[in-house]
Amino acid sequence: MADKFWANSALEPKRKHRWLLYLGGTDIPVFVIKTVKKPGFTVNPAEHQFFGHKFYYPGNVTWDPVDVTLVDPVDPNVSKQLMKALQRSGYETPDVTEGGAAFTTSKLNATKVLNGQVKLEQLGPDNDPIETFKLWNPWITSVKFGDLDYTSDDMVEITMTIQYDYATL
């Protein structure tokens, strides 16, 4: 099969550099997103013991978090956009809480930040979508604002992790 693939000029493999990630509900443009890990899943085995033997059956499906690397330009300021996303999910710093009222994030508010869905399109040679992953009920679980270094002129990168309930393709 491999020799037929390379002999047919009409066939082309999927390329790693042809994709777009849409973070719905945010003002983060697609051009600042540098890398993304595609969704993945694990089928957790369920164990059953019968006399002196163990048998395994497919169990629950767990969807792996998606890691995203973004470049942080001066304008738009992605760091500020991500802090706004955290605040929109319900988080407030202790200094703005009046009268000791407790504020916390909720799944409802956290998923609203990304409009309840993140979309990852993998593009073909004509820049048409050939594969679209949709992450359902996503929320941002981690943001790292990058490193600073006087000896480097590299761009500042932000890493973000997105958790979700499930994905469709």
Q: What percent of the chain has pLDDT over 90?
A: 63
**pLDDT tens digits, residue range 120-137?**
999 998 899 999 999 999
Q: Which residues contact 68 (CB under 8 A, 6 or more apart)?
A: 21, 33, 35, 36, 37, 159, 160, 161, 162
**pLDDT tens digits, residue range 22-73?**
998 888 889 999 999 999 999 999 999 999 999 999 999 999 999 999 999 9
DSSP-assigned states of every residue in 47-60:
EEEETTEEEEEEEE
Alpha-carbon distance of 141 to 82, in angstroms, equals 11
Q: pTM, whole model, 2 decimals?
A: 0.84
Confidence tier at 9 by pLDDT (50, 70, 90): confident
The candidate with the shortest Cα–Cα distance to 33, out of 78, 93, 64, is 78
Q: What percent of the chain has pLDDT over 70?
A: 91
In this structure, are strands 33-36 and 66-71 parallel, antiparallel, or unpaired? antiparallel
- Domains of the chain, each with CATH number or no CATH: 15-38+63-168 (2.30.110)
